[in-house]
Amino acid sequence: MRLEAEERGDLLVVHVQEERIDAAAAIQFKDRMREVVVTPAPRVLLDLSKVTFLDSSGLGAVVSVMKLLGPERRLELAALAPVVQKVFRLTRMDRVFTIHEQVSDAY
């Protein structure tokens, strides 16, 4: 799972460099995120602009990362493709996460 991270003040931006977060990639995604979020930023922004498909396993992996961060750190999402956005909306997880139209909206 290819992830690129950059710090922007109190924000850690994690760019997902894969098209899919599905059952085959969910465990790798969680493992890589566990490595990346050791940076102690209070906010973590997940850039999903390259992700065109996310299934229930992928959604579960994103929720797991949110739980991993704990209550003192926020996981936010940005640049969701329409199909990915639909998954969050149908599961009402769009009410759990702060979702930004673009990565730059979170700065």
CA dihedral 51, 54, 58, 59 (to 10 degrees): 110
Residue 26 to residue 63: CA distance in whole angstroms: 11
> What local confidence, expressed as pLDDT, does residue 86 receive?
97
15: which 2 tokens? 């760019």
**How many alpha carbons lie under 13 Å from residue 72 in its C-beta half-sphere?**
2
pLDDT of residue 40: 86
Q: What is the mean pLDDT of each run of 10 residues along the chain (107 residues)?
A: 95 97 97 94 97 97 97 96 97 97 95
The pLDDT value recorded for residue 7 is 95
- The CATH code of domain 3-106 reads 3.30.750.24
Instruction: Give the model's pLDDT for residue 39.
Output: 84
pTM: 0.94
Q: 63, 1, 67: which is closest to 28 by C-alpha?
A: 1
